[in-house]
A and B are shown apart, each in its own frame.
Chain A
């Protein structure tokens, strides 16, 4: 399977705990995005990496959230001191801009439930 993969697919945690999600983009895709999707809503942008550089962060990304993309390959999203409002689907997408191709391909997501 050469698509975007995410791990874990589901995570249940207690309020106040830290969680970390991993995203493996499509090979050679230099652009990586994180989005958050709550029930019944469209995905909302969280942050963007071009290679290993984090170039944009949404205001939705509070200081409890941190993301990394070491060596421009996989990426991790960590949430510290989780709150019930963090419960959502966290989606990763990757793309490789060339010619006029701008398609973003999404992974299956990580469903986070904070109890």
Chain B
């Protein structure tokens, strides 16, 4: 059972444009939603994360928008740069006492930012 669905699979954006990646989850018990960036041959690097008690979180050019009722969240990359070209993964987890915090990942989105 696929618990986190991510779209699109690939994305091409012009330099300076906005990149938007979407994720949907099924398990309403999830309460932690991070985004990771991965370059070829490297491990995933944490970009930004959100808890369901807020609808938006911004860090620099990266913003997470969260819609609890729709069970959806998205990553917006403002002023996209060629250096942002990478694969992005959304994930979801259950935190709190008694939970392991294991991450359930989406399938990934390959972003290419054209100069």
Contact = CB atoms under 8 A, between A and B. Distances in A.
Contacts of A93: 103
A32 to B, nearest CB: 11
A35 B42 CA distance: 14
A41 B107 contact: yes
Contacts of B89: 42-43
Nearest to B36: A106
B69 interface: no
Interface residues of A, number: 28
Contacts, number: 64
B32 A102 contact: yes
Nearest to B91: A42
20 contacts: A31-B101, A33-B101, A35-B103, A41-B107, A42-B91, A43-B44, A48-B102, A56-B100, A56-B102, A91-B43, A100-B51, A102-B32, A102-B93, A104-B46, A104-B101, A105-B46, A106-B43, A106-B44, A106-B45, A109-B43
Closest 10 pairs (CB-CB, A-B): A42-B105, A106-B43, A45-B102, A48-B100, A108-B43, A106-B44, A56-B100, A109-B43, A42-B89, A102-B95
Interface of B: 6, 32, 34, 36, 41-46, 49, 51, 89, 91, 93, 95, 100-108
